[in-house]
Amino acid sequence: MKTIFSPKTKKVLFFDWNHTLVDPNQSFKKHFVSLLDEFGGRWAHDGEWNPSKLYHSYEKEWKKMRLSRPSAKPDQLRRLCLKKTLRPYPFDLNEKFLRTFFRELRIRQQKQPVFFPKTRAVLNELNEKYKLALISNGGCSYLDSLGMSEYFPKSHRFTASQYGVRKPHRTLFQKALEGMNVKADEAVMIGNSWRNDIRGAMRAGIDAVWLKKGMSGLIRNKKGRIVVRVQSIAELTDIF
């Protein structure tokens, strides 16, 4: 894809966090398997104890339950799936155990997330030409320990918890523009969610890059805003 944006006209690139820089699915899988490995360490010698295989069993249960119980809360479904997956093993599968497992899993996902391929290399290259910042509905508690502060110092992080509104609310984007001291047409929002990231940015007058697998191309809305569709974060260095 050809270059579309330039440092001559764009000063700041705003990034979403989850599903844009961080791959939550791979993060979940990695820590689910490692936790099972720790919890079931006593059966490590048993050929039937295979955490990776159990993860796939859990995934199958998750897909079935999501279809059969669409109105159930995700956290409740996760506990039910884990309980069914581990039923053949001598765990005490009470609510305390199930909640503790997923609480620890969430903490590890935040502290040690799995980034999409080439994320750091792309950020390194873009950081030489633009200021980088985050606009996130989630928290950014562990960015410093992840080595992300060189790209996103604390003054470049704009979160829902700071301002009491979530994307796609225009206020969060406006606060980010003010915080970075740029006009809307001097910024680009990069994210995976059409509703939260892309439409939210366009309503605030910001051009956007939509990370969408299986799709590439250029969109212009009625007000002249540009949306570029790319399939992976690795493509960003082509268009900036």
d(CA 201, CA 208): 7
The stretches of 112-169 forming alpha helices (DSSP H) are 119-127, 160-163
Instruction: Convert the pLDDT of each residue in 192-201 to its tens digit.
Output: 999 999 999 9
Task: Answer for the pair 107, 142: CB distance below 8 angstroms, yes or no.
Answer: no
Interval 182-208 mean pLDDT: 96
Query: What is the reported pLDDT for 45?
Result: 55
* Of residues 187, 222, 237, the one with CA closest to residue 208: 187
Q: Is the pLDDT of residue 47 over 80?
A: no
| pLDDT top residue among 155 and 213 | 155
What size, in residues, is the chain? 240
Phi and psi at residue 108, in whole multiples of 5°? -70, -35
Measured in whole angstroms, the distance separating CA 168 from the mean position of its chain's CA atoms is: 16
Q: Is the pLDDT of residue 92 over 70?
A: yes
Q: Where are the alpha helices (DSSP H) in 128-217?
A: 160-163, 170-180, 200-203
Q: What angle do CA 203, 208, 209 make, to 5 degrees?
A: 150
- pLDDT per position as a tens digit, 51-69: 999 999 999 999 999 999 8
Residue 58 pLDDT: 97
Give mean pLDDT, residues 216-232: 82
pLDDT of residue 28: 96
